[in-house]
Structure 1
Amino acid sequence: MEMDNPNPNEEKKREGRSFLMAREPSVDRRFRPRPEKQQRLFDEIRESEESNSTEDDLTDTESEYEASSTATAENPSDAESGPQVFLRLRPVKMSCKGYLISDCGNVLVTMNANTENTSNNVNRMEKHFSFTTIFDSEVGQRDVYDTCVGPRIMDEECATIMTYGTSGSGKTYTLLGDDVRAGIVPRALEHIFSMYSANIYHIPKLKVINECVVFLEDDATLMEQQTRIRLLDICPEYTHHDRIRQVIRGDHSFKPLEGNDYSVMVWVSFVEIYNELVYDLLALPPRKAKLSNVQRTNLKIVGSNGKVFVKGLTRVFVKSAEEALKLLQLGQQRSTCASTAINAKSSRSHCIFTIDVLKYHRSGMTTQNTYKFCDLAGSERVDKTGTIGSRLREAQNINTSLMVLGRCLDAAAMPSNKKTNIPYRDSKLTMLLQASLLGKERLAMIVTVTPLDKFYEENLNVLNFASIAKDIVFKQPKKKFHSTRYSGFIDASVGVISQEREYIKSLEEENLNLRLANEQLKHDKLLQLQLQEERLRKELHDAYQEMLAKSLKLAKEQNEKKLANIRREHEANIAHLNRIHAEKIEDLQEEIDELRDGNSDIEIIDDEDED
């Protein structure tokens, strides 16, 4: 719980607690209870009532200061705040008397209605859990966004939005929504592009590489554009974006920011943690491979100079909210889901969708605003989900990573005089969420609960988990500023006269205009080359067709001449053969006549002899 003035006798109260007033062990304390750290439930209620107004004041006065790990007594003047923990109750057909919201509106009162089925006195107790805000079943997606996410984007703060709850309690619905009721991620994308609508830069010139903002050269810019086009080509068809956008604009009135002295570039990435392995959900498949048969590669998490990043993670440059939602839908299709006894489409992994907003100022400075939306897999009990085989292994890894996350929150919530190292290296999930666990980014947790008696024990673990996060106190983070090649020149000119400053400003504006003109010339030259290529292709095609026609005509004439010569030779041969056969016929006829004349003379001689 957040408090401006901690009670100096708090530590004495902790030591004097009785096991009768102990708080129910949470998920991460199941095997290692610590009675000396338990908290009196009724004291917690009084403290929550006294500090409600204080929490609102802290939220309204957030400033831009860099975060260290946690607040300490040596620096009492530093502004302090903790994670905001919200509770959302899923609508159910039959109301349950075991879950009640107090009159103040931010305390949930639970009590196990099935007391005859348990002999544990702790489970029969009435328990109170305080939250920043509680959303009942009648609260829609608009109010959830306006309370949990909208202020962070308006203040341009780095933030991590985490949904946590049992399987099937509505975590993914809160983040993504459906075809009619948009979740907080589509609303955040529309909010970002509406805020910077006049300053969106349509060429990827800045990019976050290994958690450092770098300036991309022309070749790298071209490669990023090709990657963006290839990924958008394989994205599934997103037909209901216009309807979703109309719904969002009907619920919100996002106003653009004033000023045109900066340019904004937006990048998105999507990772999945499945069985303690990290996969890139936006990885570009090989050109010859089918989308359904792409072999996934396990990526490595690297830590350097206090920064943690996924080595080789694909970051995609987007120009509109529609493009980002297409990539989000592509990543959803690649994520791991399965059916259990509780949820027909249960997430079997933790997914983190990241939006990086890079602002390039004319002064030569860049700022980075990162928004992480973490969809935690639901905590499960094997006896109720009925998981076996690979599903059982997935559930074990999910529960283990959530238990490590609970230990990290528990370590962060310890008093400053008993502070220990946060064990974020024990899980891939906590390694990626290290910045928010150390207080370097704003952390907001949306806890979803299905208020039914049959889920009482699971909900109790979830609520205890959330109560740990409510006790954390961090220093307020500040924006991430990065120096570019112009920063040293600007710093050196602080003491010069106003005329020189105006001259420097004019040079910077001229430099920016020259860059824009250079990009426009490149675009025009590329278009001119494409047109010239098309014209040359057409001319080459026409010349080839003409040459082919001439060749066909010449071949036809040559064939006709050859055919005429062959006919003449054939006719001459036939005439020659006719003459030869005619002469032979004449010779034979003469021989026949001679034979006939010889026979007649013989007959005449015979007649004379007889006489």
Structure 2
Amino acid sequence: MSSGNMQLYAEVSSMRLSYLRARDPSIINFNAPRLPLPVNLENRYSDDDNNKIDKEAEEEEERSDHLSVFLRIKNGVPFKDLYEIDGCNLVCNSPEGSYSTRNMKVGNQLKKIYTFTKIFGPEDRQVDVFNYMVKPKVLRFINGQNSTLFTYGVSGSGKTFTIVGTADEPGIIPRALEYIFRTIKGVGFKDDIKPLPAQQVRQMSKEEVLNASRDKATLLNASFLDKHFHAEQYRKMQQSLIDEPVAHLEVASDVYVSIWVSFAEIYNEYIYDLLQLPQKNKEKPKLRLGCTKYGTYIKQLTSINVQSGVEAYQILQFGINNLKYASTALNCHSSRSHSIFTIKMVQWKKNSDVCISTINFCDLAGSERLKKTGNVGDRLKESNNINISLLVLGRCIENIRAGQKMNQMKSKPIPFRESKLTRLFQNALMGFEDMNIIININPSLGMFDESQHALNFAAIAQQIISIEKPIRMVRNRFSEMLQKQDGPTAVQLRSVSDEEFDRIQNELQRIQDQNIELQLQMNQMQAEHYEEIQSTVDEATVRFRNIWENRIKQVKERAEYDLQALRQQYEEKIREMQEDVIEISSDEEPDERDNMLKDAENCVKDLQTQVRQLQNENELLCIRILELEEKEAKLEEQLLAYHQTLPLLADTDISNENSEDEGGTY
């Protein structure tokens, strides 16, 4: 045995190790080998100042990619002893007796600092919130990007005021509607292009467009909706915003847009359509969620095409009227559901694809504590569902934050499917869409603990990293059909050389000039054909009128002649009979006179009978004359109708000639 092996054997023997029986367990892991810890020499020996600068740059870059979370403090409540605003930081001084100081010694004070993208204090107005937070999102929406905005906070903290506002202080939704329609002013509208859930579009038929217009008119003219009041309030808002600047677009004649709005609510974990007329003694239909590879959507949700801001505002007010509200100890007009107002814009340009963008405004119901609200019965059930939904939302955001920090999204299961709200906005919560959250707090002392929950939620949410996605241009059967109708695609047009472009432009100018010349010739031919047809119709009218007038005149003359002849004949007979009666009365015997008088009377009766028959015949002739006059009037009406159709006949002849000419040309 060599010396080295002998030394190793001696060391092992001195340690009394056994290879047949394991060593005794020890909590200090005695005799276990320890690996040396790795040391990053770069961090130890590099320049501290450079590291500090690099770290700040990395933090700033990360902060720019993080979710934007804003804070708004409710006006009218003093808060200097509880909260301090230091730029974008909010310093919270926990009061005695609060939940956060329950384990602290008496007299100690706890301070917490929360950082936000921006803090809107009580002195900030609605216009300040919109210009800083919402206007950039609306511009992204017009440029084809999707955006989502949440309002989160305790019941009575001012969420609905921020998102909807009042008549005198309109919120971010009415201002966004006005900004959108003022920005796209001058762009052509198309009401027959409807967006579909799976980022697709469909061209509607004329009947479908008509039905959609009827549905919109039904909502705008609903009995419980004061149409004139809301329209007047919107015009009042327009006057107050007339000096507000808007974006200026380079409007092209071949660009069209179609804007659709929808309004839904999630109440007790059921989804309802707010743009449906309420029916007596019938429960609202519950809607279900559907899934595509592009995200989750609400099935059978009503979408209304709007072409002005006032129409969209009236639709918004219709949906607000259908929202679930109730009175609680914290808020006399508390929203009992999550409301989601969605605006979709379809942008279509000839010879290009279709772009669909969406902006969602989600007003979350306020979180509540039972001992503060005192809810029972239905209010208690609503509070439980609201709190569960917000709890799932918080868990999703916390797990997403943890997964992004570990660079593996599957590190923790994200409970999206435990709530309808989180399923619907899964893409936005994952950071795949632009999303903003505005936290509303009531700075009163009694709401401090509830506000702390909202602030903790904001602290977690702000650490989520947004992943920018490029604008997706939709290519489907509809866009391909439009391209086949209108010409080459945009990619093909970009590949054309300058010489080819000049040649095509010159050819286009030549065709336009030729088109103008042909249009002048067509107008001249149309005028000549019209004059020729007009003269022919006038001659035919005069000829027919003369024929019927002559026939009527002949019938009248013949009837008068026959009547006059009969009158003369009977008058002559009566005169002769009177003379015979006189002669008989002077010459004959009484008996003979009586007989002759009887004969004369009989003859007179016969004559009277004949006169009545002639009168009847005369009446029949008069009726015949009236029938002829009626036929003449109908004929004149037919001639007038024929006269009115002459321009159409002329256009038809000209179009036929043009088609024959085109057929001969090609």
Give the secondary-structure state (helix, strand or coil) at the position aligned to 1:398: helix
- What is aligned with 1:160? 148
Q: Tell me which moved more, 310-319 or 419-428.
A: 419-428
Give the aligned residue type for 2:126: Q
Shift of 1:242: 1.2
Give the secondary-structure state (helix, strand or coil) at the position aligned to 2:221: helix
**Counterparts of 1:207 and 1:151, CA distance in 2:** 23
Give the secondary-structure state (helix, strand or coil) at the position aligned to 1:255: coil
Counterpart among 242, 245, 264 of residue 249 in structure 1: 242
**Residues 499 and 204 (structure 1 numbering): CA distance in 2 closer, same or farther, change over 3 Å?**
farther
- What is aligned with 1:199? 187
TM-score, normalised via structure 2 length: 0.61
Shift of 1:236: 3.2
**Residues 47 and 115 (structure 1 numbering): CA distance in 2 closer, same or farther, change over 3 Å?**
farther
- What is aligned with 2:390? 402
Shift of 1:137: 0.5
Give the aligned residue type for 2:88: N
**Counterparts of 2:56 and 2:161, CA distance in 1:** 31
Q: Is this contact kept in 2: 1:210–1:311, CA < 8 A? A: no
Q: Is this contact kept in 2: 1:207–1:215, CA < 8 A? A: no
- What is aligned with 1:419? 409
Q: Which has the higher contact order (CA 8 A, sep 6+)?
A: 1
**Residues 447 and 116 (structure 1 numbering): CA distance in 2 closer, same or farther, change over 3 Å?**
closer
Q: Is this contact kept in 2: 1:276–1:397, CA < 8 A? A: yes
**Counterparts of 1:406 and 1:109, CA distance in 2:** 22
- What is aligned with 2:265? 272
**Counterparts of 2:331 and 2:289, CA distance in 1:** 31
**Counterparts of 2:54 and 2:79, CA distance in 1:** 29
Give the aligned residue type for 1:391: R
Q: State how 1:356-367 maps to structure 2 within 5 Å.
A: 356-367=344-355
Q: Is this contact kept in 1: 2:199–2:294, CA < 8 A? A: no
- What is aligned with 1:449? 441
Counterpart among 147, 171, 174 of residue 132 in structure 2: 147
**Counterparts of 2:265 and 2:98, CA distance in 1:** 42
Q: Is this contact kept in 1: 2:74–2:158, CA < 8 A? A: yes
**Residues 93 and 51 (structure 1 numbering): CA distance in 2 closer, same or farther, change over 3 Å?**
farther
Matched, 1:112 2:86: no
- What is aligned with 1:138? 123
**Counterparts of 2:192 and 2:274, CA distance in 1:** 21
Shift of 1:191: 0.7
- What is aligned with 1:368? 356
Shift of 1:224: 1.8
**Counterparts of 2:94 and 2:294, CA distance in 1:** 45
**Residues 312 and 503 (structure 1 numbering): CA distance in 2 closer, same or farther, change over 3 Å?**
farther
How much is the aligned-residue C-alpha RMSD, in angstroms?
3.0
Instruction: Report which of the two structures shows the higher radius of gyration computed on alpha carbons.
Output: 2
Output one character per residue of 1:3-43: Cα deviation in whole Å (capped at 9) or x when no partner: xxxxxxxxx9xxxxxxxxxxxxxxxxxxxxxxxxxxxxxxx
Shift of 1:221: 2.0
Counterpart among 319, 326, 342 of residue 354 in structure 1: 342
Q: Tell me which moved more, 237-246 or 205-214.
A: 205-214
**Counterparts of 2:198 and 2:293, CA distance in 1:** 11
Matched, 1:328 2:312: no
**Counterparts of 2:92 and 2:345, CA distance in 1:** 41
Output one character per residue of 1:474-505: Cα deviation in whole Å (capped at 9) or x when no partner: 21133231121156852566655567778699
TM-score, normalised via structure 1 length: 0.66
- What is aligned with 2:3? none
Output one character per residue of 1:444-475: Cα deviation in whole Å (capped at 9) or x when no partner: 00000111221111011100001111101121
- What is aligned with 1:434? 426
Q: Is this contact kept in 2: 1:201–1:263, CA < 8 A? A: yes
- What is aligned with 2:82? 98
Matched, 1:316 2:316: no
Q: State how 1:212-611 maps to structure 2 within 5 Å.
A: 212-234=200-222, 235-237=225-227, 238=230, 239-250=232-243, 252-260=244-252, 261-284=254-277, 289=279, 295-414=283-402, 415-420=405-410, 421-483=413-475, 484-485=479-480, 486=482, 489-490=488-489, 491=491, 495=495
**Residues 388 and 48 (structure 1 numbering): CA distance in 2 closer, same or farther, change over 3 Å?**
farther
Q: Tell me which moved more, 115-124 or 372-381.
A: 115-124
- What is aligned with 1:40? none
**Residues 200 and 233 (structure 1 numbering): CA distance in 2 closer, same or farther, change over 3 Å?**
farther
Give the secondary-structure state (helix, strand or coil) at the position aligned to 2:189: coil
Give the aligned residue type for 1:85: V
**Counterparts of 1:47 and 1:320, CA distance in 2:** 50
**Counterparts of 1:253 and 1:52, CA distance in 2:** 34
**Counterparts of 1:298 and 1:247, CA distance in 2:** 39
| Long gaps (5+) in structure 1 | 1-11, 13-45, 59-80, 511-611
**Residues 99 and 128 (structure 1 numbering): CA distance in 2 closer, same or farther, change over 3 Å?**
same
**Counterparts of 1:170 and 1:458, CA distance in 2:** 14
Shift of 1:207: 2.8
Q: Is this contact kept in 2: 1:92–1:450, CA < 8 A? A: no
Shift of 1:114: 2.1
**Residues 195 and 184 (structure 1 numbering): CA distance in 2 closer, same or farther, change over 3 Å?**
same
**Residues 181 and 500 (structure 1 numbering): CA distance in 2 closer, same or farther, change over 3 Å?**
same
Output one character per residue of 1:181-217: Cα deviation in whole Å (capped at 9) or x when no partner: 1110011001100111111405333333454222223
**Counterparts of 1:503 and 1:298, CA distance in 2:** 57
**Counterparts of 1:212 and 1:434, CA distance in 2:** 20
Give the aligned residue type for 1:110: C
Q: Tell me which moved more, 411-420 or 237-246.
A: 411-420
Q: Is this contact kept in 2: 1:115–1:124, CA < 8 A? A: no
Give the secondary-structure state (helix, strand or coil) at the position aligned to 1:221: helix
- What is aligned with 2:648? none
- What is aligned with 1:169? 157
**Counterparts of 1:197 and 1:472, CA distance in 2:** 36
**Counterparts of 2:495 and 2:461, CA distance in 1:** 47
Q: Is this contact kept in 2: 1:162–1:446, CA < 8 A? A: yes
Counterpart among 88, 95, 104 of residue 121 in structure 1: 104
| Long gaps (5+) in structure 2 | 1-38, 40-52, 513-666
Give the secondary-structure state (helix, strand or coil) at the position aligned to 1:240: helix
Q: Is this contact kept in 1: 2:77–2:444, CA < 8 A? A: no
Shift of 1:384: 0.3
- What is aligned with 1:63? none
Shift of 1:422: 3.0
**Counterparts of 1:194 and 1:494, CA distance in 2:** 31
Shift of 1:168: 0.4
Output one character per residue of 1:249-278: Cα deviation in whole Å (capped at 9) or x when no partner: 34x211331121311111000000000000
Shift of 1:357: 1.1
Give the secondary-structure state (helix, strand or coil) at the position aligned to 1:373: strand
